[in-house]
Amino acid sequence: MSYQDIAVKYGTDKAQHGYMPYYEQHFKKQIAHLGEDPHKILEIGCKQGASLRMWNELFPNTQLFTIDIFKEFNPPDDILELYSITGSQTDGRILQHAREKGVYDIIIDDGSHNSRDQLISFYGLVNCTFTYVVEDLHCCNDSFYRQDMTFAQTMLGQMKDNKFPFKFDLYDDKIAFIYG
């Protein structure tokens, strides 16, 4: 079963946005390089846990972590290795708490889509991961998500202007795989 099929099975919007072929390409390459599945994945923003269930099926021996701001979020109780942190992806205490959990093989930002939030989370966590994925970068084109930032100041703007200080692969101006 492909990553796309599993994403559809669990109803994650990653399938609808067209992200799964990119995940499959990068993660299979990373797994081939490491010789094993990831040990730890942190996902920022997980709503009702559809993508967490998907990651759990794709990588059943991987410990999953999540940060979500909504207190009403109830982490899926059918995932054994799941650690949930409730709070904002820009709260220094929350980011510190996530850093204290050690190094993650993969961090995925599918949180607020706010340009500032993406940058704060990225710079707060990039030193504790090998691959950092940012979804929904196309929101940087929308002034609502930029919140008084210029496009050039956003993560996508920096990538497009070749001013982003990390190696990355950008697809459709929507999703980037950044290598720490």
pLDDT in tens, 154-168: 999 999 999 999 999
Q: Which residues does 130 contact at the CB level (< 8 Å), separation at least 6? A: 30, 103, 104, 105, 106, 179, 180
Q: What is the mean pLDDT of the chain?
A: 94
Kindly report, residue by residue over 118-127, the tens digit of the pLDDT.
999 999 999 9
Q: For residues 121 and 134, what is the distance between their CA atoms, to the nearest angstrom? A: 10
Q: What angle do CA 33, 39, 45 make, to 5 degrees?
A: 110
The CATH code that applies to domain 36-179 is 3.40.50.150
This prediction has a pTM of 0.96
**Could you give the 3-state DSSP secondary structure of residue 150?**
coil
